[in-house]
Structure 1
Amino acid sequence: MALYGYTIGEDRDGNASNGKQLDVYRFLIPSAPGGTITPTRVGTVNIAGTVTNADLEGLATNPTTGRVIAVNEARATALPNNPGPVIVVNNVDQPFAPAQVSPTRTPSNLVRFGFESGADFSKQQNALYNISGNKTANLGGEPVGSSLYKITTGTPGTISLVDTFGAPTTAAQTQGTQPTNPGKFADGLAIDNLNPGRTRALASDFHTSDGNGNNLYKVDLLTGQLSAPIALRTPSGQPLNVNADSDLSFTNLGSQRLIGWLETGAVYEITGYKDELAASGIGLGSATGTNGAGFATATLLGNVTLPNALATAPVQYEGFTIVNE
């Protein structure tokens, strides 16, 4: 078996009148750094009509079926929040056979927060999780921060805000005008299905434009809480300094690897996070672990040559997941 990555681009022609034509690409995950990576287009998701914000930014692999699931970016365009529907698209890998469902919001007045999003599937909870956040406060007038959402399986299933934190969810959090993790921007999500547990999940932030550098965060799937940042470094020990939307994925077969992804097609392997997760006495909100003071190493494996990813007006490829094939 081999590890393949999947990603989805934005609307190919930018013309909503003929549907949202989102191309899906597949590529081999390198075992070591090695330069350019050539992808193969395996299909196109066409979301009919004029669905607002149909970018399929959250990609996840269902560990039971081995198939790829995608979640759109259902953000609001302005306040008061009035986002388009949450869309879950199943089976966007090979063989290519997409199907669409729109989860029911619970409660009914729930508004998803955030302009950027990532997703992953938890086998332990038998649910799809989505993380959404803003990196700047001027995007729709919403405050900077990240929130975690749970999407139950089924047709259509339900979507709910994961926010206990020991206190009731506020009306502002339900309406999307107040984040549940203020000051933290995350747009990628990876859940460890080989070693399940409430904190065996990580979120990614590869943006420097939010003012706090490139980081990982531990994610508590039961409370929606994000930890203090785990700073990403280069193999030489310098702070990683990239500025792009990202996603994150664990491999779930054999020797586990954590792979990071940038919308430009850059593929990173992230190491050194295991001690941070397993260190005795470490709790959410702490950035001190046995591998130092909350650091992990990001090594560039290569760049996937996706169409127009590095153009002046680029096509963005923000979602990423890994399939064992």
Structure 2
Amino acid sequence: MVLYGYTIGEDSNPNTSGNQLPVYRFLIPSAPTGSIAATLVGTVDITSTAATRIDLEGLATNPTTGRVSAVNEARVTGTTTAIDPAVIVVNNVDVPFAPATVSPTRTPSDLRRFGFESGADFDGNTLYNISGNPVTANGTVGSSLYRITTANSGTISLVAAAPTAAQTQGTQPTNPGKYADGLAIDNLNPGPTRAFASDFDNRDEIASDNTKNNLYKVDLLTGELSEPIVLRTPSGENLNVTTTSGIGLDSGLAFTNSGSQRLLALLENGAVYEITGYQDELAASGLGLGSATGTNGAGFATATLIGNVNLPNAVSGAIDYEGFTIVNE
């Protein structure tokens, strides 16, 4: 059995009829390497007009079936007023490629997802989607977590202890000030806080966010994110990823779910990072850790670049690859 990563490119020409989204597969290296070859698996073609823009940014592997599902972003970046109600889940975008589209029923019926960027992962047969907004220009900065059941067409609901009307209708996040767009759930060691969300965006979303690149523990029962867990380089410096435009990178996050467990992230330019030293944070009780206090790495994790995937037009930024999941094949 070999570990493969999957990602989906955004619609390269959203002004044309329909949405054509390329799916790529690549070998996950066991140790740091240089270039990683990618193979085109297929193209998801969604002609539905139910969503303003159908970018499948959330990718997740079902641990029961081993198949990959993808969730579209909530709404188009730059639109501060229009809240897109459509939730589209595309199944089986791995090998063998056989995509099928479902639209979960919103519960309650006026549910709208918050934010512009998305991440996803499975907890058993339940699919979770984190959706966030990174910039004040587009409204309140923050993230909200959503639960999608997979029986038949499924249902989608907001994960929150006592959501307000604004949170349910997508105008406010349940986690203000905490932006994340990658989600990884630990199915080898299940529990309500055995999950992480990631933020590899190099912008300071709010004044108090001076670390830029973070992880967050995620409580799947309440939808709550912890305080930031700072990502550092192997030499101990705060991680600083940049693009040619200097604004940072969106990310996908995934656990391996067999053998020796690994936590990896894919950035939209094709860079793959392996994250280590997170064990103290993930095993700790509660969600308070991440304040960068404590010993033995508590409050920190290390991100090591292990390779760069050769994805068409990724480095130039012409096409973004933001979703990421891992399959043991």
1:79: how far off? 4.7
User: Which residue of 1 is the match for residue 22 of structure 2?
Assistant: 23
Question: Runs in 1 of length 4+ with deviation above 6 angstroms?
Answer: none
Q: Among residues 286, 291, 299, which one is paired with 1:294 in the alignment?
A: 299
User: Which residue of 2 is the match for residue 267 of structure 1?
Assistant: 272
Q: Among residues 160, 165, 169, which one is paired with 1:171 in the alignment?
A: 165
Note the aligned Cα RMSD (angstroms).
1.4
Residues 1:161 and 2:165 aligned together:
no
Distance of 2:145 and 2:85 partners within structure 1: 18
Q: Among residues 246, 252, 255, which one is paired with 1:250 in the alignment?
A: 255
- Amino acid of the structure 2 residue aligned with 1:146: S
Distance of 1:49 and 1:272 partners within structure 2: 43
User: Which residue of 2 is the match for residue 314 of structure 1?
Assistant: 318
User: Which residue of 2 is the match for residue 188 of structure 1?
Assistant: 182
Aligned-partner SS, 1:16:
coil
- Amino acid of the structure 2 residue aligned with 1:218: K
- Amino acid of the structure 2 residue aligned with 1:235: P
Cα contact 2:277–2:297 (8 A) shared by 1: no
Distance of 2:181 and 2:275 partners within structure 1: 16
> TM-score if structure 2 supplies the norm length?
0.92
1:82: how far off? 3.0
Residues 1:285 and 2:279 aligned together:
no
Aligned-partner SS, 1:138:
helix
User: Which residue of 1 is the match for residue 244 of structure 2?
Assistant: none
Aligned-partner SS, 2:31:
coil
Aligned-partner SS, 2:10:
strand
1:314: how far off? 1.7
The percent of aligned pairs where both chains have the same amino acid is 73
1:12: how far off? 3.3
- Amino acid of the structure 2 residue aligned with 1:8: I
Distance of 1:95 and 1:174 partners within structure 2: 37
Distance of 2:190 and 2:126 partners within structure 1: 13
Cα contact 1:249–1:259 (8 A) shared by 2: yes
Judge which range, 194-203 or 82-91, deviates more. 82-91
- Amino acid of the structure 2 residue aligned with 1:286: L
Distance of 1:278 and 1:289 partners within structure 2: 14
Q: 1:204-224 CA deviation, whole Å, 9 max, x = no partner?
A: 000121343100000000000
Aligned-partner SS, 1:118:
strand
Residues 1:62 and 2:62 aligned together:
yes
Structure 2 portions without partners, runs of 5+: 242-247
Aligned-partner SS, 2:318:
coil
- Amino acid of the structure 1 residue aligned with 2:280: D
Aligned-partner SS, 2:23:
strand
Aligned-partner SS, 1:193:
coil
Q: 1:289 to 1:130 in 2, by over 3 A?
A: farther
Distance of 2:106 and 2:16 partners within structure 1: 25
- Amino acid of the structure 2 residue aligned with 1:221: L
Distance of 2:149 and 2:296 partners within structure 1: 35
Distance of 2:55 and 2:151 partners within structure 1: 22
1:14: how far off? 3.6
Q: 1:4-32 CA deviation, whole Å, 9 max, x = no partner?
A: 00000011344431x21100000000011
Distance of 1:173 and 1:154 partners within structure 2: 25
Distance of 1:49 and 1:247 partners within structure 2: 25
User: Which residue of 2 is the match for residue 237 of structure 1?
Assistant: 236
> TM-score if structure 1 supplies the norm length?
0.93
- Amino acid of the structure 2 residue aligned with 1:257: R
- Amino acid of the structure 1 residue aligned with 2:173: P
Judge which range, 282-291 or 145-154, deviates more. 282-291
1:285: how far off? 2.5
Distance of 1:298 and 1:79 partners within structure 2: 33
User: Which residue of 2 is the match for residue 324 of structure 1?
Assistant: 328
User: Which residue of 2 is the match for residue 129 of structure 1?
Assistant: 128
Distance of 2:45 and 2:14 partners within structure 1: 12
Q: 1:8 to 1:230 in 2, by over 3 A?
A: same
